[in-house]
Structure 1
Amino acid sequence: MLFAGCSALPVKEPSGPTTIAFGACSDQDREQPIWDAIVATEPDLFVFAGDNIYGDTEDMAVLRAKYGQLESVPGYQRLVGTCPVLAVYDDHDYGKNDGGREYPMRAESAKMCLDVFGVPEDDPRREHEGIYGATIMGDPGRRVQVILLDTRYFRDPIDRGTLNAEERREANVVGWYEPTDDTARTLLGETQWRWLEAELRKDAEVRLIVSTIQAVPWEKGMECWGNMPHERQRLFDLIGSTRAGGVLFLSGDVHFAEISRSEEGPYPLYDFTSSGLTQSPHPTWPAAVNRYRLPGMLHVGENFGLVRLDWDADETQVRMQACTVEGKVAFEQIVPLDRLRAAE
């Protein structure tokens, strides 16, 4: 009942992020015009998905100086002034090409990454080894959970492939690695696995799992979750057992953009790869075998990724766009959010 002279208070509509930009593989020694195109999209968030610089050193002074080069880029400064930035490292900014837990400066590198990207001193990411962490943006009904995985700090060694050069060409394999059958090896480490399970049980409508290396494709011979098939399957199974809806993988590493899809999970699992903020691939890399790539979902050249969310549509849409250095859409995949749910 309303009393005389009173009016109903306006109902606050739920709000949530509509544009999340991300990218990977940014060489601090190259020109970086792409930041202006990213800023022009007016993102609510930018996610660095690894190889944010090319450090490749055990000297922390050298690593810090290379981060300083990134911080001094005017376009990147404009981005930082426009929206929040979240970041995880991959191998080159971790400090060692294809490196894992054997890297002797891993603790120092992890702290530096958190420091450079302004992670507060009381943030949970500083309370454990590695740099994994998560955040939820938006109101109920429009919540986006961003899960940042650390695929380096705890990772056991991976196996070099046994194919010779001719056999690799015939198989259209461009990398150096092959899947292991050693199920004792880990990619994330048990502590991070337990943390991930707890995060997936939290309430959110969309979940962006930032993996740095590709989670769905595995046949190229490059670094990927498929180098440890048991860990890849564990990831897919965990999404099912926690009934975590709305999962979309964001990855980098390979120096081109593509979208891959697997039917091995509780619902279709999409892996949106955007790689090459400044980097271009070897000509053979984009042509390498990938049975999971969706038709037409490939772009070679400097690029960044956009995840656009249309909350106001009759059916919420997830729009994945790979964008060029000029800001043009190179390819687009639209998925109704309801399809990213397990059947009841």
Structure 2
Amino acid sequence: RRAAMGSLPQLASTAAVFLAACAFTANVGAVDTAPLHDESNTQIHGPRISTVAFGSCRKQQLPQPIWRAVLDLSPDMWLWTGDAIYPKPGAGEIEIRRAYESAMSNKDALAFFSAVPIVDGVYDDHDYGENDGGKHFEMREQSRLAFLDEVLQSPKDSPRRTQPGGLYGSRVFGTPPQQLKIIMLDTRFSRDSHAIPSPGGSKHLPKAGYLAGATRSMSAVFGIGQTHDGDVLGEDQWEWLRSQLTNSSASVHLIVSSIQVLTTVPAVESWGHFPASRKRLLSLLAELRPAGALLLSGD
């Protein structure tokens, strides 16, 4: 059988929360091997997987009725594409972990994550711990471990805890020619600063996030940053990404980026503010031409 794909968007909002979720369907065959890690940090899973739901931007202190709608899809897997929580600006590791605990104390979230067998994904800036944060964030190692502990409940020996360059990782489901590969990029841990460093992470400026958006917009208007050579992934992750795409046997590749790749809206954080990295990513995809490539983004 050929792999088949379809999408079923689910959008729910209240005054409390706005979260988008989609379902992805792929007919991939089951394989009898047990889950394992290989040398390239890929988890290989045997159970048949038919529906992957994904979403981002959850404010943990507010109601979360969206989970009921997503649960109706009976997803086999949930993918975080960033901002699983919104801690207060300047929050330390303890506050971040408490925010995760608060998020999971919600009854709808508890019901959802108790029913979904596989949870994976990546953080973005808010659950990373600094708005618009990158490699200069002094708490990046603590944030990595907090996300792996509290959100993914990763094994203590997971290479994502100690590998250079961040918590990127991948999973493979099924066997060729009915195979799905999910590639999750870390766009925070090794990312350089914007051409004009973002004020979004300031603990002292009021409405720092809005000021950051205005700064990015003005940079676009005046052409500042068009030749910015700042990097998004870091060389360790670039090398890993190439290895994941080279000669891949998967018929569908879901590539997760917490920031948008193709948007032309300058106010939001995106790969567009790092033109050299964006060109490198698109050139890599054009060179290796992974089958059924889909870009999933949060933010």
Q: TM-score range by the shorter chain?
A: 0.7 to 0.9
- Is 1:176 paired with 2:208? no
Deviation at 1:125, TM superposition (A): 1.4
Indicate if the aligned counterparts of 1:50 and 1:88 stay in contact, CA closer than 8 A. Answer: yes
Task: Determine the structure 2 residue equivalent to 1:61.
Answer: 94
Amino acid at match of 2:236: T
Instruction: Answer 1 or 2: which has greater helix percent.
Output: 2
Aligned to 2:188: 152
Q: Say yes or no: does 1:120 pair with 2:155.
A: yes
Residue 14 (structure 1) aligned to one of 29, 39, 47: 29
Structure 1 Cα separation of the partners of residues 265 and 169 of structure 2: 28
Give the direction of change, closer, same or farther, for the CA distance of 1:218–1:175 in structure 2 (3 Å limit). Answer: farther
Look up the equivalent residue of 1:159 and give its one-letter code.
A
- 1:22 is paired with a residue whose SS is strand
How many aligned positions are there? 229
Matches within 5 A, 1:274-289: none
Structure 2 Cα separation of the partners of residues 140 and 191 of structure 1? 28
Q: How does 1:321-340 map to 2 (within 5 A)?
A: none
Match of 1:87 in 2: 121
Indicate conservation of the 8 Å contact 1:49/1:250, yes or no: yes
Q: Is the 8 A contact 2:229 2:276 kept in 1?
A: no
Write the distance in 1 (CA, Å) between the matches of 2:112 and 2:157.
24
Q: Secondary structure at the match of 2:145?
A: helix
Residue of structure 1 in register with 2:105 after alignment? 72
Task: State the SS of the aligned residue for 1:113.
Answer: helix
Superposed CA offset, 1:281-302 (max 9, x none): xxxxxxxxxxxxxxxxxxxxxx
Distance 1:249 1:175 in 2: 26
Q: 1:19 and 1:235 mapped to 2: Cα distance? A: 27
Deviation of 1:86 after TM superposition, in Å, equals 0.6
Gaps of 5+ in 2: 1-27, 31-47, 198-212
**How many angstroms apart in 1 are the aligned matches of 2:256 and 2:70?**
18
Counterpart of 1:140 in structure 2 is 176
Give the partner amino acid of 1:227.
H
1:295-324 CA distance string (max 9 Å, x none) = xxxxxxxxxxxxxxxxxxxxxxxxxxxxxx
Asked whether 1:219 is paired with 2:260, we answer no
TM-score (norm. length: structure 2): 0.72
Matched with 2:33 is none
| Gaps in structure 1 of 5+ consecutive residues | 1-12, 162-173, 254-344
Partner Cα distance (2:82, 2:214) in 1: 19
TM-score (norm 1): 0.63
Which of 1 and 2 has greater Rg? 1
> Identity across aligned pairs (percent)?
38
Aligned equivalents of 2:245, 2:29: Cα separation in 1: 22
Alignment partners' CA distance in 1, 2:287 and 2:157: 31
